[in-house]
Amino acid sequence: MAFRDLSEVLDAGLSLPYKGKTYEVAPVDAETGLRLQRLAEVAAHAAKAAESGEPLDEIALDDAEEVDLYRDALGATYDEMLADRVPWPVLKVAGVTAWLDAAVSREAAEAYWNAAGSPEASAGNRETRRAADRSTRRQGSASGTTRTRKAPAKTATRGRKSSTTGH
């Protein structure tokens, strides 16, 4: 059996419907995908910090970094949405949805979009933490003890960009 061209079997595009129009978000390039994945790891760290009561000031995105996240995740669709003068909440939900799709999973992105960005109704925050935990999991305690933390109702999903982002 030979390998098929991945473009024939991988549907990586994202379709986001809003008021009768469907915005097509192209897959991010590899460098952007790596940057968005790193941001998912930072978001997971922020969620853990919030759970433990650590200050979040040093790991929050500023306004410019937040816009960069949406622009990076949405690509050309970002400019299309601006040209269509979509409301800010729509652009924000679309940007986070595209980020979740690229960095976490399609399921997390769909849950976030279908919940209109509501953290209480979407699994996006939990999925972000779980995905980052899977990619950065450390070996357990040698003593055999475990410690489980109760997840809070709301968690932070914003983090600062890595210095390797090129911005």
> Phi, psi (5° rounding) for residue 79?
-65, -35
Orientation angle between helical segments 76-83 and 88-103, nearest 10 degrees = 170
Contact 155, 63 (CB under 8 A): no
pLDDT digits (tens), the chain, 167 positions: 889 888 777 777 899 999 999 999 999 999 999 999 988 888 888 888 878 887 665 556 666 777 788 999 999 999 999 999 999 999 999 999 999 999 999 999 999 999 998 866 544 455 544 544 444 333 333 333 333 334 444 444 444 343 344 43
- Hunting for tokens 């070996």 — which residue is that? 139
Contact 128, 15 (CB under 8 A): no
Closest CA to 67 of 45, 94, 49: 94
User: Residue 133 is which amino acid?
Assistant: D
Contact 1, 82 (CB under 8 A): no
> CA 52 to CA 59: how far, in whole Å?
14
> CA 100 to CA 97: how far, in whole Å?
5
pTM for the predicted model, two decimal places: 0.64
